[in-house]
A and B are shown apart, each in its own frame.
Chain A
């Protein structure tokens, strides 16, 4: 086996893991499969692109590539702006759509369907604003550095991998070590009971959306940096995200990340041995295998 496959798979898998984290959090706390999550990834990438372009035009110095990377300081700054904007977007969608449906105690499936409608709206809106032509954060070419053992990686790839790991550790610490994390876990166990003991369910839900949208934004910027930005990128990632969230076990942060890496590695292997045209089927095979063999996921508890 070519060790390069492992590197490419890990880098792609870390982005899937970040997205799956958001899905698993909304799933375990809001209790529905959010089909619009992929669109938060695409919107995050486009928001960062727009913010980066705006910054670059005001301060041209920021657009010049930094060190070994293909982008200038404008991108990291734009990333944080886009994380905030993406959170506002998610809160807005919740305010307009999911909130009222929750209030009416609509069934899970109505929420899923609403998320499906929201996904199409958000995606087509991107296509309308930015057209379906692919966009790039940077046109600079990068030379892959040899890392030893026959593995090569570009500085951008190594950076996104590192950033993804940092974010996952932060989310894990947030969930396990802080008061907010304890409240979130309480709400995911039992909403009514959590409300009874004084957990503010409303603010927990807001934090979940902010976290999910923020992680989606990081994943979108990473995927956009490594490949390209397209309005369809969220739709293409949706099945790998769900496969990772279910394989990892709904609600499990380390599970989502590990399963994301598994999905990314399997996709890279499939591209190597089966052919790139079948890449999209890999996530489905993993999903079916997980549902058949271990429906509660690797790190999940049986219901």
Chain B
């Protein structure tokens, strides 16, 4: 019993950490740079499908799979999403702020459509199966399989966390926030605002693609239904609740909101008869939507709030001079 609990816990946390990666990517786009991405699901799906295409064993029914190693799939997924983000960004970042939002919404619709209709590549509505899973050799023992995957994900999230923390504190990160807060001032100082925004948008998109690939390999199966607008909404709720602009907040929000989500889904399936479950699930979304609007209104900083970051060189002389 307790072993089952541990392996469920490992499964739950691993899923939550894949969301944490998406959240960190969104935090680079929104939290640091103020770019609004309403098509998160599309970028995650692009990463997942590219990785699946690269790594699955050959399948006569569709293009590929190329049977590459999992790491190549992760890298390919991240690069594909980064390229997609770069193109969308290049198209809209110079225009009004909310044109980017509209364009990303469109990307999510089109990616979903491609996943459904390009059956020769994506397997259509049935999706892609037999995606290789990390540590598949241990799959017979659910506990060690779960713990090994959790360890891998935790290491990946830690690495990405350090990377984005480093970037936020770098001159590049400071200029990003300067552009976000006062574009005219940043331009006057000779900073190329559009190019910086585009870099941040592509970086965030790449992280979302990586998360999609990691998730696909963890579950072993993907289908267009996994990438509905609901996913975008969940990720936004995670970032807003955790505190946008704060990388630890992004990770905390992902775990917390995923816990609430999974918990309320379990509650619904035990409380309601099967015929009423679809309706109850709709109510679940209503409650989370109200919560998101409530946080925006009442506590726009989220749980953690944005960290005030200055250059790590500022203030050093004082410390050195102190007795």
Contact = CB atoms under 8 A, between A and B. Distances in A.
Q: Which secondary structure characterizes the binding site on chain A?
A: helix
A52 interface: no
A235 B229 contact: yes
B98 A121 contact: no
Interface in B128-151: none
Contacts, number: 117
Interface residues of A, number: 43
Interface in B90-107: 91-92, 95-99, 101-103, 105-107
A242 B297 contact: no
A295 interface: yes
A127 B279 contact: yes
Contacts of B36: 109, 112-113
A280 B109 contact: yes
Given A33-B101, A287-B106, A114 B296 contact: yes
A162 interface: no
A242 B278 contact: no
Contacts of A32: 98
Does more than half of chain B's interface fall in helix, strand or loop, or is it mixed?
Answer: helix
B38 A291 contact: no
Contacts of A113: 36, 236, 240, 296
Contacts of A112: 36, 38, 98, 101
A120 B113 contact: no
Contacts of B282: 124-125, 127-128, 132
B101 A109 contact: yes
Contacts of B297: 97, 100-101
16 contacts: A33-B99, A110-B296, A112-B36, A113-B240, A117-B292, A132-B282, A242-B102, A242-B106, A278-B113, A278-B117, A280-B109, A280-B113, A281-B109, A284-B106, A284-B110, A295-B95
Contacts of A283: 106
B152 interface: no
Contacts of A295: 95, 99
A297 to B, nearest CB: 11
Interface stretch (B184-192, B205-213, B283-291): B283-291
